[in-house]
Each structure stands twice: as structure tokens, then as C-alpha cells.
Structure 1
Amino acid sequence: MADKEFLENAFPSLREDLVPIEKYSNLDPLIIPEGEVTVSSPLRTASDIDSQMQAVIQLLPDDDSDTQVVVGFDAKYNVEVSSRGHVSSRGHTAIIQIACSKNIFILQVGQMIAGGRLPSSLRNLLKNPRILKVGCCVSADLRYLEQCCSEPKGSFVSAVDLGKMAKEQLIVKRANVSLADLCASVLGKRLNKNVPERVSTSWEDEELSKEQITYAALDAYCALRIYEALMSIPLPTPLTSETPSETAVLLFGEDKSCLIARGSLSPLSNEPLFDGIHLTPTRCVIKVTDVYVPGAIISPHKKQLLSTFGSPPFHLVCLRSRICVSSEPPLAFTPSSTSHTLASNTVSTTSDPASSYEPVDDGDATAVGIGMLMLDTADSPQDHPVLSTSSNFEIDAESKAHGDRVLQEVVALPWLPHIRSRVLKDPFHLFAQIYISVSHGLRVDFCFALRDAIFLPDIQDKNRIKAWGSIQDPPVTFAYLMRTQPQWVLKRCKRIIPPPEQLYLPVEQVLRTYGPLKDAKTGLPLFNAAAWSSSQKVLEVIWKGFISDPPGIALYRELQPDVKAGGLPMYGCFRGTNFTEGGFHRHIIEHTPTHGVSVRHVHACLLDVVLVHNMRVGTYHSSGRPYQGHYSIWLTNELREVCLTLHSYGVIQDNYKPPDGWVNGNFYQPTTERLGILPLPQSTCEASGMLLYNPELHSSQMHWFIASLQNTQCPVLPIHNSAEETLFRQFMASHGGGTELLWQNIILAWNEIANNKKEILYELNEHLRLYYTGDWKRSLNVKQTLALTLAERKEVKQNLTSTARTKYLPAISQAPLVRHHVPQGLLELNTKTMS
């Protein structure tokens, strides 16, 4: 789904009439009240920003009072998303949003930060200790701005984290909650986050869209509203000797960090003894009405567990220092109507540092994506016996507990005819996200279970196949055919991927059930931490409706009936890119050389493969019949052009007609589309300081063929030789370690050098950043590790190279080089026949 925003921007109609699924969908959306709060147009210049920020600073009083100004604060930046849906990196801060009083300001500071500066009034506002900046993770945003602007650490002050504030007031259980969760818990409103702007690559654009402005303004406005609401909630106060009986109280654990129960101060506290326990001035008796942590130990009351007191209400003895007075029940422990959503809070799989499960490397030969397993098992199901039951397999308790923390309970909703998104994820890639062991005994059974959870067969087609199977000798069932000949069935049975309301629960059940099951031989569960994390991503995609078939859009067309199977209809499917991935990408390697040839050779082979594929598949899809003939379209065009010319002169019969369905490209302007290596846009070349391709340098240029296709003087390739590695090292030494601010400057300087040195090639910003985060940092780690372990390795290395090891080494024998000679077995020449 990494290209979702790009496609929707390119084709705005894809966003029409969408009903995206939002977390807390039962709540009304948070909106900025029109007429009461003003959202400014984006401020692009330093003077405009200074003017507005000066107005905010002017809200401070002139005297030395403790009055503070509170602003909602947030920042946006571009992100890069990997093909598997993970955010791989972030750019520098592009905009800052500030909500103050009745105004919301959108500050476009991307170019300023790239130059290592901020407008003076904005810096003053960030440094002012009497201006509170409230929001989620504000401290991290301020630290990042300090680094970008070369400010001393701690210069930007007065950050207020709403998550920590809400936890202290017992609104939420953990401090690292999202702004959307706080909005639902505190304001009772829904902050929409299932929008393309959330993970965007367009925040650095000069012109922000209306949707971007609204999204950004809402975050700052929401932060300010949450702060105001939290300030109106009274904080729990300590219990005093004057606190009257029946006062509502909260009971905390021994470490005072966790709320464990709620109740009221009991009149029995005035007695000298309760349940055989002396009531000293530091102890009291409370009546417990709600238990939040049954496993908590109450030390003053004979070290009993809360769970052993029975069902509330009950009385217990506790320390007065563990009690706070609160008239309101804590929201974090109160059943909320917001729980009835399609999916509850996402839990990060990295939150448990003690987990023994380690992510599986994608290159691990023992792990494979389910998508490839589906293809393999569909081709040869007999090689993988399917188990009818998994009851003999042991459940791995640790893996099950880990999965339970990752996958959340959901509530089934009705089948709704809404279009959630017109940019969908291909089911094949959804399967390929989860990597499991190729040797696990349940791998195939799990693949089939997940397949059946996602795809529902068409009832009419299923009944036709069942009827056909019942008259076979011997009879076969639909389930048997799906297990043994899935490809045959799927060509004759349409399938639908249901809406997320029906899809989420079955898939979640399959993942939760199969994940912790152990292999009978290795004793390892089917899922490790990496697979559980991928499962969470799969459920997130399903929950957002990015995998479900859009209602009202035909994804199948009927082909020729299968006369060998009683006339069962056969179908072609337009869903996803299965034909592209399985019928083309997967087989490219079979038709192109893998090594030992030039890029020009590979490019020519690729063009030929694409031509043949398009002729075959295009003809079949348009006519339902296979293509017949050769694949030289130029020869066919020329021959038909000659026939038309001869026909116009009367040389051939008058009733000549060109074949149906063939468009002669010689009569039309050639396409400008390119395949394979593409030319770089002129704007990219200009921004990166690249010169255009010069044919006069053709003979003396390295990789001239690549450069000609890219239309650049030098080819644009990642860092790949020692000269470029040395140059990169020099840039890192002279540009302060390659900070985010200087990449553009480095690119311009790099490409200027490439214009004069043959061994240095052009680079893009992305090339240098990827090299910096990949090979460069890995090499630093290697050098650091070598340096730290030098003493431990030195003696071993000396022993390995010591001459003592070769002192008594015998001479190594060597066979002499002998010319090949055939002494016998030669055929005799028949001189008579020759004569």
C-alpha cells in the first residue's frame, strides 16, 4: 500500500464516495468549529511566520506573574514506506502546527530547516519557558528541531506530553498513547487517522492540499482541547487524618505505580483492631467496590492477594500512604463504549524486551512467505499431505501469550456495502507478508486455512462443481478438489473477499489458533515474533478495508466453458496482480540471463519477454483464444502495409481486408512509454546538478548504455566502487557526519565531481541516504567491534600466523602438468571408402 497516496493523487476519482474505517467509529468526529477558530493559510516566508509568532508571544503578561500561555504543538514530516508497509525512514520537519486561543497556524518550515535555520520569533517561542507546548511526543519534536538548527541541547523548553499527563490523572493506563486514543478517552470524539495524509510523502510540497491543511490543523487543535479538558479534571489528593468516612478513595500497589482497586474509606478505620490486625496511625480499613489487579498483594492484610478476598464489596486493611482521594472513577479502568470498534488499540510487538522470539531475516533459507507456499502447494498438493485436525500438536504457551498481546479481540459488524478504498492490496502480497518455517508440519494446513478465511466461494459455482463431482466415478467432494486440485477449482469458481466487518474475525481466529502450535519434530511454534508482527500488519490492512473486494465492481469475466467437465463455466479474474506476479514477474528469471552478460543484453531480453507475454496474454484476454503466429510485429506491420499498397494499385483482389483485431503501428505515432531503465525527469536532474546525456561522449564513457536510457551524462547508480566509497567518507568527514540538513548540498557537490571523474557516477539523494543508513553504519559497527575486541583477538591471530605452525610442515606434493594424450581407441580410417 506504499503507492496508495501517489495513485490517489494521480487519479482523484479514486477518493470519491469512500467510507474509510476509522478507529472509534462509533464516536462523532472531532471538527474545528467554524467561525470560532480560524485556521490560517500556510505561512511560507520568515516574515509571515515572525509576525504571527510575535502575536502569540504578546499574549504573555507584562508583569512577573506565573501566568503561562498554552499552545497545541505538532510537526509533520515526509515518511518513506517499504513494500511491506513498514515506515522505513522519516524526512526532516516540513511543517509545524501551533494552536493558540482561537487561531491555528500552519508553518511551512521545510526549506528553512534544510538551511539550518528557523525564523527568530519562532525560535524565541520555542525557547520561552512560559509558553507551554502541549501534544504527544512534543519533547522528541523539539529535540529534533534543536539538532536541525544546531541549537544547544535543551534550548527548546516547556514541552508537555499529554500521554504522561493523562496517565498521572488515571485517564489512560500507559503514557505512550496516540493522540487519537486520547481524543476518544478525554474528549469523547474521533480523530480520523485512516487517511492518506497520515503516512505521506507530500508534506514538503510547496502547495499543501485542503486535506493536508485540515489534517494538520486538527492535530494541533486536538492537543490544545485535550490539555484544557485534562486541566479541568481534579487530581487525586493524598488521604489525611481529617478525611471523613465513606469518602471515595483509590488504592495503589506497593510501588505506588499501579492502581489496583477502588472503594471508600470505611468507618471501621476508627476501631483499634480489624480481622486480627492492629490499626496503627499508618493503617486504615477501606471498603473495596472495584478490583483492577486481582493479583496484587496487600502486605498489611496478612500479605493476601486481592483475588482471595472474594467478590466485591469487601473490607481490607491497607497503608494510608497507598490511598488517594478521588470523587471520580478513573477513566482508564472504566468500561467504555469506545471498545466496540472493529479493532482495539494496536500493541507493538517490540514492547516486550524479554520475549525470546527474534525476527526472521527475509533471507533465511528456513523461512518462506506464505504467498510462495500457496503457489507451490497449488502446483503439487500431493507432496504436502493436509492434516484434517491439529489436535495432536502441542501449543507453545510463550508464543500464544505473545500472540495474544499482539492480536486484539474484535466485535463482528454487519455486512456493509461501503467502498473503503479503491486502492487495494493484492492478496498474493498479503500472504507473502508472513514468513514461516518451510519445515513446520502445519505450514500447508495453515496456508489453506488462511486462504479459506479470506476467500469465500460463489454459491452457484460451488454447487455446480459439487454436482459435477457427485457423478464422477468415484464421486469427489468440493473440499477434496480444493485440497488436491485447487488451481482447477479456482478457474471454475468465482470467489469474493468479504468486507472487513466479516473478514477480520475469521482471519484473526486462524492466526491466533495456528500461530502458537508446535511442530511435532522441532518443538517450535509456527509463528515467531516476526511472524506475529507481520500478522498484526495483515490484520491492520484487513481492518482498514484495503483487501476487501469493492462492492459493485465486476472482478470476473466468463471465458469458454469447460466441455471436458460437463460445460462448467471458466473465469478470468481481474483481482490484484496475481497474473502479473505469477505469470510474468515470477518467470522473468527463466527467460533472462542471470550473470555474465551486459546490461544491454539483459535489457534486450526483457523487451523480448514483455513483447511475447503481451501478445499471448493480450490475445487470450481479448478473444478467449490463444495467440497463433510469430512475434515479429514489425514484419507483420510491413507485410500488411505492402498488402494495402498493392491493393490500392489493384494488384491484389478487391475484397482484401486486413485481419480483425490487429492495429498496424506503422500508421500511428509511436508511443513514448519506456520499459526497463527509465529516463530521469528533467526537474530531478536540475535539482541534483546532473547534466543531460551527450552522445559525443559515448565512446569514452563508462556504462554509456545506462546513461543513454536515463538521459544523463553519467549513469545514475548506487555507490558501488572503492572510489565512490572513499569520496563518501570524505564528505562525511567534512559535512559533520551527514546530518539530514546537508544531503542536498552533498548531492550537488558529488555530481559536480562526477562530471569530471570517470570513476565517480551520479547519485540521487535517496542513494546516499540509503548507503548512509546501510553499508556506512554497518562498516562503522564493524570497525567499532574490531577495535573493542582487539585485545581478545590479538593472541589468537598471532598463534594462527606463527611460524611454529609450519616448522615441521612436510612438502606439499604437486602433480606435474602433462599434455593430454589418447594412446588408443582411435577409429581406423577406411582408405578404400575415401578413395
Structure 2
Amino acid sequence: MELEKAKRKEQASVDATSAVMHSFLGIKVPEKAAPVEEEVCEDVDMTGEELEKQFTERLVIDDTRGQPGDVDVDDDDDDALGFEEDGDYNEDSNELNDGGIMSNYLSKIQTRLRDETRCNFKKGDEKIPDDQKWLLKMLEEHQFSLPWQLASTLCNKLGINWAPSAYYCTVHVWLTDVQFNEMPPCGECKSNAHVGRHAFDSSYPGRRISGLKKDEYVMTMRYCCSRCKSGEKSYTFRGYNLKSLESMPLSRKICFPALLTHKSGVTMELARLIRSLVSKNVRSNSLAAMIAEMHQLEHKQQMLLYESEVAASRFYRTDDNKAPLFSDFNDRKGYNGRLITGKYIQSIYQRLIHSFRELADADTKKRDSEMIKIDASYKFTKRLKRVGGEKVFDGLVTVMNEFKEIRSHFVIFGESHDQMRPPLQAMKATMDSNGQAGPKLAFTDSPKRDADMLISVFDSLAVTQEAYNTIAEEENKQLGDKSEPTELLKSAWQRLLRPSLPICSIVHHNYSVIEADKDITMFAGTAMDLMKDRQAEKRIMALDLEWPVHFNNNGRIEGQGKVATIQLSYHTCQGNLDNDICTTVIRVQQTTTKLNATLVRLLSEDSIRFVGVNVAGDVTKLKKDFANMNNVSVNKIDLRVMARRRGVVPRNGSYSLVALVEAQLKESMEKDQRMSDWSGPLQPKQLDYAALDAIKSLQVYDSLDKLPDLTRELQRKEILAGTKVTIVASKGSKASIPTPGAEGEILSQKQIWTAPKTFTFVEGRSKPGGQFVLVRIKKVLAPGLIMDGYRKGRKGVSLGDFVKTFADDDFVMMVNLSQLRSQHQQQSSSSSSDAINPNPVIHTTELNKVNASIVNADNETATTTGFAEDDLFTHDYIFEHENEEDISPDPDSTDAFDDFSELTPAKIREIDDIIRRAVDKMGPLTAQDGEKYLDPPPKSIPICYSAVLGDIIHAIMRIKVPAKHECRKAYSAALVRAFLEWDPERLKEVKEALVKLGISEKEIEARLYYNIQWFAARVERRALPPHLLYWRVCAVLSYFGNKIDSVSKKPLFGKNEWNKAKSLLSDIRKGYFSDPPGVSFYRYRVDGRGQIIRDRKGFALLTCTRGTNDVENEHRNLLGPIGNSPVGLEMMDCLLTDIRLRRNMISARKYRLNFPDIRHFDPWLVDELQITRPRNVLVSSVFPDQS
């Protein structure tokens, strides 16, 4: 009794003080709020009967709160994921009914919200008029949140005793029926068709969640699904039930403000920050300390503000009127702060990754791989927690593609192929299901051991190997005719460059050259009349320009000259035959400021479409150079975009005119004249070159026009029986063109169709109509393609499921209209091989002059700035974005050994002499003592190539040499020189360009050794065929193997090293370290917008995809987020999922052409935008070039 009296006296004192504060602030003092019943603590370990009893007792009989006997099976109260949270907070999770300030605050808000949203009324109930629903109006103004800064206003309206605003937390209200005018889906049946409002739970007014600076609350109500009843007890669930949230569309999910755990949660803002910081190697305990610092800092700042306001008030300057002190951080009756632990942060991170795991895995699986790199890491698995003192796994295997994207992760026990085969077979099955062609090359650290296994798993590697065997057989027959070493080396380079294709020629095409104004007028007028007489779709003209590029005295790009020539090509008849092409080269005088008026009319004719590669850049150049083109609009079609929309990906990945001609016309274009002088009198070769560009642009357009546009959905009026169609995915990736999943034919829409009994057709109709069309599938290209409108349980149905059901790939089904594309003619084989657009690959014919790396194929010059001569060989770059990630030099993977800085010129000459004499001799070097330790040299070494290749850096490291041996440096550098040979033509071009920049030949040669990384980032290197590579490597091994160290008096090689040298030479003879013919391992580096990255001197920068060094680097990066503390299997799996997604997004932005620079790692948001935006407005997608 005494204790109760003391409490009442204390409360009366607090109430009196509160009344004084209300009076001081001009707030009406309300009546004291009624006490709230204490909430029953939920125990995750309770049985079903105990849970039923608990919730039966706590529900109040009321027309808005349900009836006795209702059972709560709320998923968030009995979490299936089972995250343990005991001890993760510094206090119990259920504290809402402790009589604190927030408990009363939430109860009052809940009561008011219930009354304003109430729909069912009994006789005598009072309904709140719409104009008095101030709480709903306030919620709508603040995105259904009540910020804590509005607490004083809310307390005044709700009649709550005053307390400092900082004691209150932001309250989020989640009522989808009010906010979005639709009921939440039931977590069991995944539908909201039978869901209705049930009750507000007065014993649990809100879920407390942690924020970045303060805690917040989420308030909702219970809903009831009449379909999911169990006996007489209806199924109820809270609005933020986990299964219900997962069943919502993405546009609704992203509005939910929290990531919930078993009894609490965090704001989505904090959850995303945790994910980002964990990926940046911030440990969970460090994160907990950071968040604790933010919470404590916020508390002290609010305390200071409160005390400052009190100090400024005259009312509290007497001893009789003392203001209440601002509460402590963890005072439950006041500020009521709490801190989360590192363990809880780990559970949040895992929950967040689980929420998008399926989407992340789908993003990984869609990435095509023409080249795979396989490597195992045994350090990563050492960080795993042990079970019973034993390791769970031995190693982590990573598979990457040529774009440095991670294609697969899997763990192994030991190094047996039996451990690797099943995951690789699963990867192969996924690629087949997605219609991907499969890898054509593979890199591994042990090619001799892994070759047979990889070829048996991937039949595409077997096809490549068979092709290489045929090429090698033909080359060995020709090898006997060439005896001179220089001739052998030259022929080897020619074989390595690319397969031979017929070279484009102007011989079979006629063109005219005009310059006089009257001739231009006559030509433009005739062309306009001819185009107007044609059908609208046949009014096509190819447009191309040439202009000079100016250099200063030091050879640097200084600017561009005016347009020198305008080339136009068109068909003289509507048949679009190659032999009816009319081409005109218009010479433009450099002093001209305005184009011919009739020519301008031709270019501005809206009914004529002008085609070309980067034709928009050409039009921009015309507008810049000629005043009367400024306000002219040109109807243009970019061949690059057209090719991508048809799923055409050139073999070398580039979308230049050269690459498109090779891919579509099967011809090779020479670009020798591109950088010649276009400002003076033009030579016949220049005119031929200019005319041929326009001719081939028109022919490429004709070829592409015959292929279906995979981005254009069919319209209802185009649905005619007998129409050939292609079936694609309705939800394409933001960076891919829909891969054709099947080919078929539209049937009569009057037929009755019966769905297979094994599937559920959600539309429920047996007759075509609405969005669905009856189609006969004749050929399945991607069995894994999910078809809209079909369900098998809770899963979707793929084309492969239909094939299994009908035991044939010829069957009839209903297809969503959004998945249909027109099919004009048989598609190019390349249209279904690549899922995401690649970036430009180095093309030999595009690099005949070094200036071609300074000015790109579309005559767009790189921005340049002044630089000092001694800064020439530094890695300075020009980027479109200041925050470009990972912009370090990216040459070959042998940087660690490309260091000649400690070698004298005499030693460098010695190394060069060793390699030169090895090639000249084409046999053993008898002067070397080390030869006696090697196997006898073969009399002849046949040419052979392998589809499974070894990594050169691992080949070099295979022979371990003493770190302090005085010959180690020279040996390593010489071995790199032996393995990799500079592209002679490309190296010559770079040297000539450097001479023009004022660098002496002597200094260039010195820099080639002492700053070799600079050249490696700009000049390709290749591994020669076995009959040349063997003697080069053998010479280095023989020469250095017996070199004696002056200190230790020991040779560089011991017995074990000589045995490894024998093994290395044996692998070289089998072609494991030789570049195959027709394969380029170099690509241009591109920025986020797909533009080639250049240094400040204009040199285009290269990246090399040879070897497994990329995978090794990724394995080192994996160790960062883990740190030194052991992690569990689930945490490891989540880390790998997120790392995989992030790495693939960054790599795609860097190495894939025109990959969207979205700068976040939730790509499914963009996928949803690509689908939603065109439905809302009659405009293109967010990324028009993508699906």
C-alpha cells in the first residue's frame, strides 16, 4: 500500500509539472489517459495449443476486434527462418505496455486510426465525418508516417500529457487497404481475393524497429482470409506478415519501411546501409559500434536542445519551478533508447540477402559465358566455423566468364573431379535451359589434369577442340614449306589474328564523286523524288561522313576539321538488291559555312530514314559545322541499336561497322585510310574507302531488317492465323535483349484449348482472348523460359515442363501477348547466343595505325589536356565519371613479373639474345649447361591448340626459385618475355606515335623494359604456337637453371625444379599455353556509358582476359568482408550471394557495351521499370536499347 501511495504521489507531481509545461507552451491540458493493459510476451518455443490459448485470452470481444476463439498464426510471431535473437538487445523485445510514454502514444494513435478507418458500424455507433479525419490527412501528407517532430501536435490532438518531443519516435502506418486501396495478400493462398479487415490488436499497437539515429515503430492491423479457414477458427495475420509481404508486387514491397525480424526489425534505410558497409569490409561489431555512436549522439544533442530551451525560459528561473530533467538514454519511462549488437546485425544482413536471393541467383544465371575461368581457393574456407573440430569444406571454386563476372560458386571436399563435375553439369544444364551456347574456351591452373573432365561436361568445348584439331592439321601440312624463323613467326601471327574472311572491295560497286553546287542540287532532288515514289518502309538511305583530325607540333590531338565528304547510298529499285546500290560521295569545301539547300531538304525529309553506325554523331557534326543544319531534324537509325534489338552480337563483341560487316555480311573491312589526310586533295583509295563505308552500312541494314525485332511486342491486330512468331521472356533484364525461347505459329483464335492437367492456367479460360493467344510451338530454343499465366503449385512453368508433358517440342499452348515477337526469316545464329551485350574487342583491322586508338571508328576524338613530358608514361586517364570504380591499369596478368627495373642494359640485351637465338635456331642451344637436366629435345614439334588452356602466371610460378637468388629477377623477366610476344605491328604503331610526341627511339626502347606496364596497357601480347613457344621457354630454363648465386653458392634450380621444368615443357608442347587461332584476349576498357577509356594522350586502354588471374583477385576480395573471425555457413552463403551480384554489376558496367550505369545493386528495380513504364505512357522504356 505504501508503495502504491508513493507511486501515485510521484505521478501527481509529474502531472503537475506537465501541466505547468503545457501552460508555458500554450497547450491545453487534457484529461489523463487511461492505462493500457500489459501485452503478453510472445514465446517462440510455445506449442500450438499454448499459442492458441494465449491469443484467445488477449483478444477483446468487439465488432472491430474479432470473436473469441480466433487463432493467431502470424508468421512473424513464429518465424520459419528461425533467426535467434536472444541477447541481441540490451533489453526485452516486448515493452510496449510498460506504461511508458511511447506505449500511451501508440495506443492513442491506434485508437484514433481505428475510428477513422472503421467500416462496419452498429446501431448507435458514431461515425467520424470525412472532414474531421485529421489523422488520415496527416498520414497522407507524410507518406503514411508520423515523424517524431510532429509529436507535440499529435499529443495535443490526441489528449496526451506533454513530454519532450525527443522522447517520441517516428511511427509508420502500414494499411494497404487504406494506402493503396487494396487488401494485402494472404501469406498462405498468395491472394487477396478473400481477405478482409479483422481487427486492431490493442495489446500490440506497434512493432519497434531500430533506425540509424533513433528507434521507430511500425503499426498495422490484423486481416482475415476467409478461404484459409481451419474448422471454425478463421485465419488472421498482421499486415506486415512476412509471407504476405513476399506475395506483394515489387511496387508495394519497396514502400514497406522496415526489414522485420522475429520480434523487432530495422528500418530499410539502415538495412541497406548495413548491406553496403558489409560489402565494404566493415565488420558487424564495428557496425554496431557505429550505430551506437549515432544513437548516443542523437540523445545528447536532443538533451542539449532541451536544456537550452529550459535555460532560455524565464519560468524556470526560481527554485519553486524546476523543469524535469531530460531522461537517461535507457530510461524506459523517458527516452527509452536501445542499442543493437553485432550478432543482431549479422541476422539483419542474412534476412536482407534472403529477401532477394532468388532474384540475385537469376541475375547470375542469365550471364552468358563464351570463356570460363575456373580456380579454387583454400583460404576462404579456412574462415568457416568448424563442426566438431573438423572443417566443413576444403575449398571454394569460382567460375568467371570473359567479362570478369562470376558465373558460379560451389564448395568442394578435396580436389577430386567427382566434387567438381556435378556443379559444372548443373551450370551446363542452366545454360542449355536459357538457350546459351556454352563456353568455347576454358582456363584452369591445371589444364593437363582438368582438360578431359571439362570437355566431357561442356560439349561446346568438345566442338571447339575438334575445330582446333582440324586447323592444326592443316597448319602442320603447311609448316614444312617455311624454314626461315622470321617467316614462321609472321605466319604464326597471321594465324593468331583471326580466321580469314573475304575482304570487302569496291570493285563490284559503282559510285560517283560530286563537288559542284549544281551537281549536288541535281543529286539531292533526284534522290528525294525517287524516295517519295517508294513505300514508306523502303525509304532508306545510308549516311556517313569523313573529316580530318588536327595535331599540334608534338603530335597531340588539337581539334577536328570540317566535314570533308558526305557519303549517301540507296537502292535504285525497291527490291533492295546488292547490285542496285547507288552511292554518291559529296566533296565539301573546307571554306563552306552552309550546306547546299536541296541537300539540307533531303536530310530533313521526315519520311526518309538515314542509317549508319553512330549516325547521330554524324548529324551532330553536320550541325556543328554548317549553320543551316542547326535546326534540322534528321530521321535516323543507328545500326548498333538495331543489331542489339535483334539479338545480334558480333563474334568479337564489338558493334563497330567492321564488326557488323563481319557478323552479318561475312566479310572483312580494311580501315587503312581512316586516319589519312581528308583536308587536301583526296586520293582514289580514300574515295573508295568513303564510298565502301556507306555501301556496307546499307547492306548491313538490309541484313538486319530481315531479322525480328525482339523488343517490339505484337499488337492485337497483328494476331493472324499462320503468322510466324518468336516467344521471348516477358520480363527481360535491363541489360539484355530477350533471348528467343521458342519458335512457333499463331493458330486460329476460335479453337478451344485444354490446359494440361499437370499445370494450372491462371486465366482459367479455354478459348483465346484478352492477353493470351493460341500458338503452336514448333521449336524450343530455351527450355528454361518461364511462361506467363501458368503455375505448378507455387512455382512457374517453363517451356521445358511443356516438352516433358507432351514428350515433344511440337505442341499447342496459350501464350501471353507480351511474350510474342514477329519472326520474319530464320534468325542469325548469333541472336540467341549472348544474353548481355559485350563490350568492344580489339579488332586487328581497326588497329592498323596507332592514331586509330586516338580517334575512334566514328571520328570522335578524345578530350585532351596539356601534360609535361616526364608525365608521359604515367597512368593518367580520362573518365566520364569522377567516381569510376576500379580504374587501375588493367594489362596482362603477369604484372608481378614484368619488372626490369633492377636489370642492367647488359642483362636486358642478354635476355633478348637468348630468346632471339632460340627462335633462330629452332632447336636446342648447345651452349647451355642446363640442357642435360631436361628431356632430350624433340626432332620436330607439331602445331596443336587446346580448348582448355593453362594460366601463364601459374606456369611461371610452377617452378619455385629462391627469393634471394641474384638471378631470380632476370629469370622471371626472361620467362615472361619467352611466354608472351608483343604484337609487332601494334608495337610499331605505338612507337611511331611516341616519336611524334617527341620521345626518342632510345628512350622508347628503355621504357619498353623499365615501364613495361605502360606498354602492356596499350599493346597486345600473345602466346605463340607450341613449335615456337617451346624453344623460347626451353632456352630460358636451360640458360638460368644452373646459374650460381655468389652468396649461397647454390644454383637457381634444384632437382625438384628441373622436374617441374620438364613438366612445363611437356604441357607447352600440348598447346596448353598457346593462344588459339581467331581468339582475342584483349578488349577496350570502357566507362559506365560504354565509351572507350583513353589516357590524356589519346591512347585507348586495353584489358586482358587471358588466364585465371581475375579469379585469384576475386578470391582475395572475398576475404575482406569476413575478416579474421570465423563465420557460419549461412553467413558465408549470404556474403557470396551479395558479392557475386555486386561484382557482376560492376564488371558489366566496365566491360559490357552500353550497360546501364545505375550505380546501385538492386537490378530487379530497373527490370520492373522496363515493364511498367511503357504501360503507363506511350514512350520508350527507361533504357530504350534494352528489353
| TM-score normalised over the length of structure 1 | 0.41
* Greater length-normalized contact order (CA 8 Å, ≥ 6 residues apart): 2
| TM-score normalised over the length of structure 2 | 0.30
